[in-house]
A and B are shown apart, each in its own frame.
Chain A
Amino acid sequence: MLLTREELLMRDGAEGDAVAAAMDLLIRYGDALEAERLVDTRNVAGTMTQPSPAKAKLFAEGGWARAYAVINLDCDRDIEVPRMKVPTCQLQHGFAEDAGGLTAYPEQSIRLQEDAESFFSERGVNILATCTPYQVGNLPTRGEHCAWMESSAVVYCNSVLGARTNCEGAASTGAAALTGKIPYWGNHLPENRHATHLVRADVDVDGFQEWGMFGYFVGEQVLEARPAVTGRLARPDLADLKHFGAATATSGGVEMFHMPGVTPEAPTVEAAFGGGRIAEPITYGRREREAVYEVLNGQGTSRDVDFVLLGCPHASLDQVAQLAALLEGRRLNSSTELWVMMPRALSTMALRNGYTRTITAAGGRVLTDSCPAMSKAAPEGTRVFATDSAKQAHYLPAILGIEAWFGTLAECVDAAITGRWSGGLA
């Protein structure tokens, strides 16, 4: 890569050893990618506070500075963690105090995370603690170069907001936060953002469940390529786009999609392909839709539901309001738990507007910061869970060894109240 004078001086220690280590990582990373240069970024979304066994060991060896050095800079030296150079936020992490005692998730990890929050927020990391930073004020503008982790956030950032990020990791975001630089590669280049595939829905895609299923199909088909999607698509709202993107990033590795008429970079299919050849469409019809439904419900046999999990990606205030409306005046089955995960910033609103009271009065819980997949924990004794999230249905069986049902919000609420799954494809 060709470095600027400023970058060379950072690499050579002009701004301290931690910054030098950060530049060293960015150079190794950028050279491996064959990036021509670095680009300035003022929007980093990474992970510093999430507990893990490896991190706990490093913390014991040398505090948060050691953990940051190894995990966030790939550096074995003793460094001091300076203030973040550019606006940096923490994505989702482990369970917080509000989930204490609800699962086998170690109390130690909750305390360790609080300590980490204190250390890193002192150094300029905004503890948003959500996989949806765009729902709680981090809204990059069109074309803004970002360095984000979290595959569902990356695809939203690129596709829905028209900002530019690759799917970064802990070390690259840790280095970006201290330098304000990230390799100019991949999604940062305009010519790398055009569609490569075309997927056409020949059945109606309308509503949260359908958008998740369609996304799961698209991801399976295109893997890490860039689809343009058309066809019988109802106008999606934020939640629909959030679920769609997360699903494409789960079954595949999609970081960028175009939805002509909805997403900002392509008003037409022609524009999505950058004026180049438009691909032959991959079609999503009745059979494909049924097949996706079977896959997402393929890890469920027992219909006795122990646990209902909502809010993946983290729920918006509107989604929590919808849940409250469905639970108004009703009580959960005594042997079924229901959780909705949301960003802490929005939970204040949920409380203020009475949604939390309605949900907890029914026996459910509104929790923040994390989710069962991230924290690898669910209510004790859970063997069968139900969810409206394609991402959670995909991951949680592997992570917890439990069975999964996937359906609509209404079907999930019904399962929480009756204790039985009776969902089915409409």
Chain B
Amino acid sequence: MTAAVDATAIDAALAGFAQMMSADGYVLSWEPADAARIVVRIDATPEACADCLVPAPVMQAIMSQALKDTPYDVDHVVLPREATH
């Protein structure tokens, strides 16, 4: 059966982080991986600050922390291609 994932709650939990990313020129989006975990995707805009992106594990920890009051967690983070090194 389709799980009752609360998209609004997840949006709200990640709102602060998404805003920070936006200030540095990155767009945050997410999709469910299953009933309890999400995949977060960070995309760079042309104005993106290349030095501002923290490594994926750090980003994942920050977002897990943001989601701690929800029933959801981060499955993994997908970073822009250029920032993976």
Contacts and interface: CB of A to CB of B under 8 A. Distances in A.
B32 A4 contact: yes
B2 A1 contact: yes
Interface in A12-61: 12, 14, 27, 30-31
A5 B8 contact: no
Contacts of B2: 1-3, 27, 30-31
Nearest to A35: B2
A9 interface: yes
Rank and list the top 10 A-B pairs by shortest CB-CB distance, nearest first. Answer: A8-B7, A1-B2, A27-B2, A9-B7, A5-B7, A31-B1, A4-B31, A8-B5, A31-B2, A5-B31
Interface-central residue, B3, B5, B8, B10, by most chain A CB under 10 Å = B5
Contacts of A31: 1-2
Contact of A2 (B8, B30, B32): B32
B70 to A, nearest CB: 14
17 contacts: A1-B2, A2-B2, A2-B32, A2-B33, A2-B34, A3-B2, A3-B5, A3-B32, A4-B31, A4-B32, A5-B29, A8-B5, A8-B7, A8-B32, A9-B8, A12-B8, A31-B1
Contact of A5 (B1, B3, B30, B34): B30
Interface residues of A, number: 12
Interface of A: 1-5, 8-9, 12, 14, 27, 30-31
Given A8-B6, A8-B7, A9-B7, 5 more contacts: A5-B10, A5-B30, A8-B5, A12-B8, A31-B1
A67 to B, nearest CB: 27
Contacts of B5: 3, 8
A16 B72 CA distance: 25
Contacts of B3: 2
Contacts of B30: 5
Nearest to B30: A5
A396 B6 CA distance: 50
B4 to A, nearest CB: 9
Contacts of B8: 9, 12, 14
A27 B4 CA distance: 11
- Scoring B2, B8, B30, B34 by chain A CB atoms within 10 A of each residue's CB, the highest score goes to B2
Nearest to B29: A5
A4 B3 CA distance: 11
Interface string B1-38: 11101111011000000000000000001111110000
A24 to B, nearest CB: 10
Contacts of A9: 7-8
Nearest to A30: B2
Nearest to A2: B32
